[in-house]
Structure 1
Amino acid sequence: MLRTSIALAALLASVVPSAAADLSITVEGLRNRTGSLSVCLFRDSAEFPDCGASKSAIRRTVPASAAGQPIRFRDLAPGAYAVTVLHDENSDGKLDTNLLGIPKEGVGITNNRLPRFSAPTFGDARIEMPAGRRQTVTLVYW
């Protein structure tokens, strides 16, 4: 009985629940400080990268003048995430594009692997929590 109790105690002590972690996003490369920054955190790859249509993405909007200050997402469970950033220069809440669908405003993703001729995939921007606790996203303008 004592041996079983010790074995059970050792097993329970070795099972440590995965702690939630915070993610800090810093945005660089703005061409100006007008408008706002829309930062969206995705867990569902099927909804990526459309923050406006996503039902589960977590969105933070901050003034572009606050660029350089970390934008935080708190208490995230371990796992795969992806982040998009839009520099919404006219603060209309959407990504403005030209006739060809090319963004007129700055965009970026975690890992800074923004494809040139297509929309990014979840895999392009994928980070693992808790390892990716601090990320810097550099915006791209076309």
Structure 2
Amino acid sequence: MLIKAMNNKMAVAISLVIFPMLAFAQNTISVHVHNVASKKGKVNVAVYNSHDTFLSFDGVLTTNSVYANEGIVTLKIPNLPAGEYALAVFHDENDNGKLDTNWLGIPKEKVAFSNAEMRTFGPPKYKDCAFHISSDYEINITL
């Protein structure tokens, strides 16, 4: 009887520890970037979680970068709670840490987005790029 009562208490204690951890589970987005033109520079990804901040430098939720490799590179974005996100990716070939643009503001370096493409007169909207995650997630993006 005593052992059964201890097992029940232990089960309750473990549940109290594990269930909150599951509720706030952190997820990883694996971003597979295709069509990287060269080994020069880095491939950068910016993660956004709001249409109000989408594509603003101050509104980036988190970023990551990897050295470029011709063909495909993979970036990992860890520690994200379940939710809605949109990604912007660019190949910083000259490795100056910024997206180079011409005098009209048009990118000189390759740019891509999650679930959407650059439009004729500017970038896509947040809602066109957004996706939901509730566990680890993989996405393919082509530059």
Partner Cα separation in structure 1 for residue 78 and residue 37 of structure 2: 28
Q: 1:65 aligns with which of 62, 69, 88?
A: 69
Determine which structure has more spread, i.e. the larger CA radius of gyration: 2
- 1:90-109, aligned counterparts within 5 Å? 90-109=94-113
Amino acid in the other structure paired with 1:73: I
CA RMSD of aligned residues (A): 2.5
Report the identity percentage: 30
Q: Does 1:42 align with 2:48?
A: yes
The number of aligned residues is: 126
Partner Cα separation in structure 2 for residue 92 and residue 58 of structure 1: 19
Q: Following superposition, which runs of at least 4 residues in structure 1 exceed 4 angstroms of deviation?
A: none
What residue number does 1:24 align with? 30
TM-score (norm 1): 0.75
Partner Cα separation in structure 1 for residue 110 and residue 49 of structure 2: 22
1:35-84 Cα deviation digits (max 9, x unpaired):
1111111113211112x333x52011211128624211123211110111
TM-score (norm 2): 0.75
Q: Where does the alignment leave 5 or more consecutive residues of structure 1 unmatched?
A: 1-15
What residue number does 2:82 align with? 78
- Would you say the 8 A contact 1:114–1:124 is kept in 2? no
Partner Cα separation in structure 2 for residue 99 and residue 32 of structure 1: 25
Partner Cα separation in structure 1 for residue 24 and residue 70 of structure 2: 32
Greater per-residue helix proportion: 2
